[in-house]
A = this chain, B = another copy of it.
Amino acid sequence: MAQQARAVATRNAIVAAAAAEFIEHGFAGASIADIAVRAGATKGSMYFHFKSKDLLAQAVIERQRELNDELQERFASSDLSALAILVSMVRALGELMRDDVVALAAMRLAVEVPDDDEDRGPTYDAWAGPTSAVISHAVAQGDLRDTIDPDTLSRFLVAAFTGIQTASFASSRLEDLLDRLREMWTLLLPGIVAPGREHVIPDMLQRA
């Protein structure tokens, strides 16, 4: 039992170390040996848990999916309006990127785009689908214009978030990420909120 707990702890330490290496050097530049050193793992233990760098990347992405699911569950039972949930979720995702090295690494793996690797592509879709559902809900509740196509707005939000995160990482290592996300909403909300619902904008910007 204690042995199993140790194995789980070692595995988690290796995934966190891999995440840090991917952030610093990208997937192509990361070295399994350096990841083992950073995790304080022996070569044997490293090989026991992960036979390849690809499997490490998959573990990082898998962990990010869990975090993403947890984040969505947190809002599933909320009694906020769908638009407030949308804005709050984007902020929560920004906080996750800022605070969790594995979440950030998964995003950077998605941005790096490996050569024809099926397993690292669908990160965008993992966000776009649930986001589109929340947007549909916000249109139905009358907060967003009924001319908005939920898939289009969702795809745009995911791409804009990706770009803002990338630019913020380059300029401030994510220190200004939340400010920049709020700027996005400042520019975007006046054009997507339904006529007659403009009074909700200040509250939304508070949540952003």
Q: Does A189 contact B (CB under 8 A)?
A: yes
Which of A32-40, A91-99, A179-187 sits within the interface? Answer: A179-187
- Within the complex, the shortest CB–CB distance from A174 to chain B, in Å, comes to 11
- Within the complex, the shortest CB–CB distance from A144 to chain B, in Å, comes to 11
Q: Which residues of A contact B (CB under 8 A)?
A: 24-30, 110-113, 115, 121, 124, 148, 152-153, 155-156, 158-171, 180, 183-184, 186-192
Closest 10 CB pairs of A and B: A163-B163, A191-B191, A28-B29, A190-B191, A162-B163, A159-B163, A159-B167, A159-B164, A160-B160, A28-B28
| Chain A binding surface, main DSSP class | helix
- Give every chain B residue within 8 A of A156 (Cβ-Cβ): 160, 164, 180, 183-184, 187
Taking a contact as CB atoms under 8 Å apart, the answer to whether B152 and A158 are in contact is no
- Give every chain B residue within 8 A of A166 (Cβ-Cβ): 111, 113, 159, 162-163, 166
Taking a contact as CB atoms under 8 Å apart, the answer to whether A170 and B28 are in contact is no
Q: A110-B170, A111-B166, A113-B166 are in contact. Are A183 and B152 (CB under 8 A)?
A: yes
Taking a contact as CB atoms under 8 Å apart, the answer to whether B26 and A170 are in contact is no
Complex Cα spacing A190 to B162, Å: 23
- Within the complex, the shortest CB–CB distance from A103 to chain B, in Å, comes to 16
Taking a contact as CB atoms under 8 Å apart, the answer to whether B170 and A121 are in contact is yes
- Within the complex, the shortest CB–CB distance from A28 to chain B, in Å, comes to 3
- Give every chain B residue within 8 A of A152 (Cβ-Cβ): 183, 186-187
